[in-house]
Amino acid sequence: MLWSIRNRNREGGFYHHYEYNNFESYRGVGYSNGNMYDEKTVLDFVRQKAFQIDGQPVPPLPKPEKPLLLDIQNVSEISWQGSAGASSYIIERREEKSDWGVIADSVDESKYQYRPLFSDETAEFGKAYRYRIKAKNESGHSDYSNIVGPVEVTSKKVIDELEDLNKVFKQEGELQLLTFEDLRKAKEDRSRLTGKEGSAIIYRLPEVIQALAGENLDSFVELKTEQKVFGFGNNEYGFFPAVRFSSDTLPLGIKFLKIILTEGIQISRIEFSYSK
C-alpha cells in the first residue's frame, strides 16, 4: 500500500497533505519538489513492481491526455485541470491574425499550492490574447487543450511566491527562506520567507506605476494597509492563522516598496496589481 496518492484539484494543481517527518502525499508522476521524500523514485518503483507482479515488462509511460484550460479573466491568473501522466505543460498565446507562440515551455503544476498556476508577465497592455496549452512527459506531448480568449490586458500583476529572492531588489537583515519547516501548520505552503525582527525586503515597482520622482532608498513613508485575518478554529494540525495585508492605493512618486518583518512572521506571497 502507498499512502497516499492525491488527485488533482478542479481549480488547478493538486490537493496536498503533509504528514510528519518530511513526508507528504504523492502526486502524479512525481515532481522535483518532492525529492525530500523520494516522490518520483517511490512512484516509479511501485509502477515497476506492479507490472513485475503481473509478469509483464514495464512499458513507457503513455503520452498524457489533453488538459482543460479554465476560463481566464486576468492574464496573471491562468489555471487548468491537469492531465494524468503529465510532468509539465507548454503554454502558448497569440493575438488576432497572428501565429501561436510559446511563452512557457515547462510549467510545473505541483509547485505552488491552491493558487493560480501561471502568470503571463510578458503580456502587453492594450492587447488581447488567446491561450492554449498542452501537457508533456518523457513519452511526448498531449494534444492541445481548448482555446480560451480573447483576454484583454487591462491589468497585470507582479507576483512573488518567495521560492527564492530573485524578484527582490534589496535585502536587509537576516532573512530565511522556508520550505519544509512548519509545513503542516502552513497548510503545505513550501515557499515562505521569515526573518529576524526589523529585517526587510525591498521591491522596485514596475515602470508603468512609477512617477517622476528621484530614486531614494533611504527615505520611506509608512503605507496604510487593511488587515484581514483568516482563522481556522481549533484543529489538530495547529494551522497558522492567515493574515492578508492590502492597500488599494500607492502614493504618487513611489518607485520602491519596503516590507519590514516582525519576529516570527512568515510571508507566503507578495502581489502587486496595476493597470496603465
* pLDDT given at position 209: 52
C-alpha closest to that of 246 among 265, 216, 224? 224
Domain-ending residue, one of 155, 184, 216: 155
Domain-ending residue, one of 131, 155, 179: 155
- Tens of pLDDT, residue by residue over 193-219, are 999 999 999 998 886 554 433 356 677
Domain-ending residue, one of 119, 135, 155: 155
What would the grid cell of residue 187 be? Answer: 497548510
Domain carrying residue 27: 5-53
Number of domains in the chain: 3
Query: Does residue 25 sit in the same domain as residue 42?
Result: yes
Residue 61 lies in a domain: no
Query: Does residue 207 sit in the same domain as residue 264?
Result: yes
* pLDDT given at position 7: 84
Query: Does residue 23 sit in the same domain as residue 85?
Result: no
* pLDDT given at position 223: 81
* pLDDT given at position 128: 97
Query: Does residue 86 sit in the same domain as residue 126?
Result: yes
Query: Does residue 130 sit in the same domain as residue 23?
Result: no
Percent of residues, the chain, with pLDDT higher than 90:
57
Query: Does residue 95 sit in the same domain as residue 207?
Result: no
What's the half-sphere exposure (Cβ side, CA atoms, 13 Å) at 91? Answer: 25
How far is Cα 253 from Cα 203, in angstroms, rounded to an integer? 14
Residue 165, classed as helix, strand or coil, is coil
Q: Which residue has the cell 488581447?
A: 128
How far is Cα 138 from Cα 180, in angstroms, rounded to an integer? 28
Residue 63 lies in a domain: no
Residue 58 lies in a domain: no
Query: Does residue 76 sit in the same domain as residue 181?
Result: no
Query: Does residue 138 sit in the same domain as residue 173?
Result: no
Return the bridge partners of 92, or none.
Answer: 102, 132
* pLDDT given at position 211: 43
- Tens of pLDDT, residue by residue over 17-28, are 777 667 778 888
* pLDDT given at position 267: 95
Task: Work out the average pLDDT over 63-89.
Answer: 95
DSSP type of residue 261:
P
CB atoms within 10 A of CB 133: 27
* pLDDT given at position 144: 97
* pLDDT given at position 213: 38
C-alpha closest to that of 86 among 66, 101, 70? 66
